[in-house]
Structure 1
Amino acid sequence: MTLLSDHFRRDATVGSLMGLAIGDALGTTIEFASRDQVPEVTDLVGGGPFDLQPGQWTDDTSLALCIASSLAETGAYDPIDQLERFVAWRDHGFMSSTGVCFDIGYQTSHGLDEFLRTGNPYRNNDNDRSAGNGSLMRLAPVALAFTESPAHAARLAADSSRTTHPATECVDACFGFGWLIAVATLTRSKEAVFAAATEVATMIKSPTIAAILGGSFKDKSRDQISSSGYVVNTLEAALWALWVTESFEEGAVLVVNLADDSDTVGAVYGQLAGAIYGIEAIPKRWIERVYARELIEDLALAIYSRGGNFTVAQSAATVA
């Protein structure tokens, strides 16, 4: 694996977090819509089910920024601190683009209630059927902070899922995707990312996630790709869009227009594509319009500037 200079890695870090927010903001316009039943989205125009202003984003970005701010301010992967910020978002609108919490998923809300009741940052794997995409959509900051070791980044990304989404498919999806974001940040190479995906597939317990990381999506048509809130479908849609396109913009437009859970497939695609292509390859018109652009950039740079010097809080050791 050929590693790149600090300049390229900085642009990958900012690109990943900005890509997440832009994919989210782009997709929310047709969130919950049926595919090809609404006009194609090609720009940040707002609207959608939450009647947002152009460039405003949803819970995907809010939760990612909660994690990013925790890492930047504490210098550690600290699941308790992250969950406290999630609670502040839910209850007080912390890191919301509108000042209030909206679009919160059931598993996330249930996980926060459980945390407040027990104080345990990690949930038990007691409902493997609730494999939503709510942890996959927010994980980029964890992988970006520990990018020096893709294996370590993957393990912590998996642990970050357990705070709210302990189902095996969710944990394995975050493990694999965290590894890929780290590789993307280190190499800026789509080829290296897909080679890593094939390798990581052999480490995955879940057969559905292993198949996707192994490339089962590569020969599928658009009609064969689902963009539902099921974590398996979200991961597949994001990797498929990356595989069949050659630029950040092309892939982002393709993936969000799959509709349904369009903001989250956009956010997941944006995390990885933003790391590969870098901030300089994301359309300037999107960057200039996205809500809280400077905050997103500052948090990404704060993570990058630590040069991988993050610790793991003692509370993280309580993982099941």
Structure 2
Amino acid sequence: MSTIQFPSPQNHILPHQIMFTYPQNSSGKPSSLKRVMGALFGLAVGDVLGVGVGFRSGDCFGHCPVTGIKKGGTQSLNPGQWTDNTSMCLCLASSFITKKSFDPYNQMVRYKWWFKKGFLSSTGQCFNINNATRQALDEFCRRQDTLKKAYHMNTDDEVDDLSLEKVRAIKKFNLKCGSTSTTGSGVLMYLAPIPLFYFRSPEYAVNYAGRSASLFQDNIKVLDACRYYAALIVAAIRGEKKERLLDNHFYEDHRSWFGAKEIHPEILRITQGSYKRPRGYEDGIRGKGYIVDTLEAALWVFCYDNNSFEKGFSDAVRLGENNDTTAIIYGQLAGAYYGYQQIPECWLRQLYASSLIACVGHWLHLLGQEQSPTEQESPKLRPKKSIPTKNHQRNHQKVNDITLASNETQSTSKLSNNSLLIDIPYTRTPHAEIPNNHHVTTTDNSQFRYPYSDSILNTDFNRYQYMERPLGHNYNGSSYYPTIYSPYRHYL
């Protein structure tokens, strides 16, 4: 089955220019799909809401709520244009969609494309990259020279295409390119694709969240923060109630997801409710860069958001300092719990390349469903068996038996494929509003082919006329008419 054919970084195709199709045979429960979509859009909305307000003191905002998406930032971004965090999230998601498994080498290659070529950047250029990420990617590029020498390669394209097996065969090559001493929260900001892809196999989601973070920050405190947050997102998508997500015994109740080793004491304190301080900012909750502070801040916002995205994002911004970071991390969990449909439509309408993000969510949901717990991967990447603890024997509902969206009423009627597709509000970004620093390629051969599924392998695509049209509308020969997702639609 073919999926999204992400462009080559050499073509400088911008996200809003990418052509794609949605899955023809979406399956699974609508509630889990909405939550997968919610986590992606929650991340992206938190990103764009944070543009122009980052690194300000909480005193600057008082009790004023977030009123909308603004322009600004270091790149003078237009309203709705996202930054490095959404770009890195899409890089990670594109690796899962392309490789259909956890491939840390391919992930690093795609991050490198973003770093060097502006791959999946809203401006066509890498910007806002933090020092830890920059240093790790610089080191990765240097280490690729070892692979070139080992396999007698001359170009980056050749070495970028290496399989994970060939990379592992070179004993001198280490994929962990970051420092063991950094404790920043950057890796939490684009975590979502891992639990979204593996939410049906929680042990894999938790394990891989830590392994992915170790590529940039091989610090146990950082890895355990990512593992814990991935577990929360998985539990939210699987339909657990908010009270269980915030329960002080969440870690104990889900102990089998975490493997044999206990998590770091500072992260353990967070799992036991250290963030539950009603007055928030006055009680010392701060959205700082230190990963423990950031994780506490995001969970405090989720705990006291009154089940409202607007209040949650407003509270995240009012915490000050790294408030954009807090909003992005909060948005992933809040979106996974509340679902896409609860995010204010006015924010979604302004979000750059929202249709591409929606398509990525559909494919993560579908391809993740097809993964088997016995997928053939290197034993090094398999989660370790956990050692049961006394606390794990507490009398509670068995986690692995929780049905997806158990707290929602499911329709007994058979669902059509289209009923699983979520309508995306459409606002086309006027060409005049696209920043001048966009690298726009106008040659026809720079556009990659439309993906297709098994059900349309023999379709003659030449008879379809691809034209500019409103998202969510088809053409009947004289006018556009509304419809649910067309399998041949693309964002313009």
TM-score by length of 2: 0.60
Q: What is the distance in 1 between the residues matched to 2:126 and 2:377?
A: 27
Aligned to 1:42: 67
Are the equivalent residues in 2 in contact too, given 1:35–1:259 (CA < 8 A)?
yes
Are the equivalent residues in 2 in contact too, given 1:234–1:265 (CA < 8 A)?
yes
Aligned to 1:104: 129
Q: What is the distance in 1 between the residues matched to 2:34 and 2:289?
A: 29
- Cα RMSD, aligned residues only: 2.3
Structure 1 position 94 matched with structure 2 position 104: no
Go from structure 1 to structure 2 and tell me whether the alpha carbon gap of 1:318 and 1:84 turns closer, same or farther (over 3 Å shift).
Answer: farther
Aligned to 1:67: 92
Residue correspondence of structure 1 range 167-178 to structure 2 within 5 A: 167-178=219-230
Residue correspondence of structure 1 range 6-21 to structure 2 within 5 A: 6-21=29-44
Q: What is the distance in 2 between the residues matched to 1:187 and 1:169?
A: 28
Are the equivalent residues in 2 in contact too, given 1:172–1:204 (CA < 8 A)?
no
Aligned to 1:207: 265
Q: What is the distance in 2 between the residues matched to 1:298 and 1:31?
A: 29
Q: What's the CA shift string for 1:279-316, capped at 9, x where partnerless?
A: 00000001111111011111011001124334575497
Go from structure 1 to structure 2 and tell me whether the alpha carbon gap of 1:312 and 1:49 turns closer, same or farther (over 3 Å shift).
Answer: farther
Are the equivalent residues in 2 in contact too, given 1:77–1:312 (CA < 8 A)?
no
Q: What is the distance in 1 between the residues matched to 2:379 and 2:185?
A: 24
State the identity %.
36
Are the equivalent residues in 1 in contact too, given 2:55–2:321 (CA < 8 A)?
yes
29-38 vs 136-145, greater mean Cα deviation:
29-38
Q: What is the distance in 2 between the residues matched to 1:20 and 1:97?
A: 15
Aligned to 2:346: 285
Residue correspondence of structure 1 range 1-320 to structure 2 within 5 A: 6-38=29-61, 40=64, 41-119=66-144, 120=173, 122-123=175-176, 127-128=180-181, 130-187=182-239, 189-195=241-247, 197-199=250-252, 204-223=262-281, 224-245=284-305, 246-310=307-371, 311=375, 314=378, 317=381
Q: What is the distance in 2 between the residues matched to 1:312 and 1:177?
A: 26
Q: What is the distance in 1 between the residues matched to 2:270 and 2:99?
A: 35
Partner of 2:134, secondary structure, is helix
Cα shift at 1:264: 1.5
Q: Which amino acid aligns with 1:87?
A: K
Q: What's the CA shift string for 1:7-49, capped at 9, x where partnerless?
A: 1000000000010000111112211222222584331112134
Go from structure 1 to structure 2 and tell me whether the alpha carbon gap of 1:287 and 1:252 turns closer, same or farther (over 3 Å shift).
Answer: same
Q: What is the distance in 1 between the residues matched to 2:187 and 2:215?
A: 9
Are the equivalent residues in 2 in contact too, given 1:13–1:300 (CA < 8 A)?
yes
Cα shift at 1:98: 1.4
Larger Rg: 2
Go from structure 1 to structure 2 and tell me whether the alpha carbon gap of 1:38 and 1:48 turns closer, same or farther (over 3 Å shift).
Answer: farther
Runs (5+) with no aligned partner, structure 1? none
Q: Which has the higher helix share?
A: 1
Q: What's the CA shift string for 1:172-208, capped at 9, x where partnerless?
A: 1101011111111111521232237442689643211
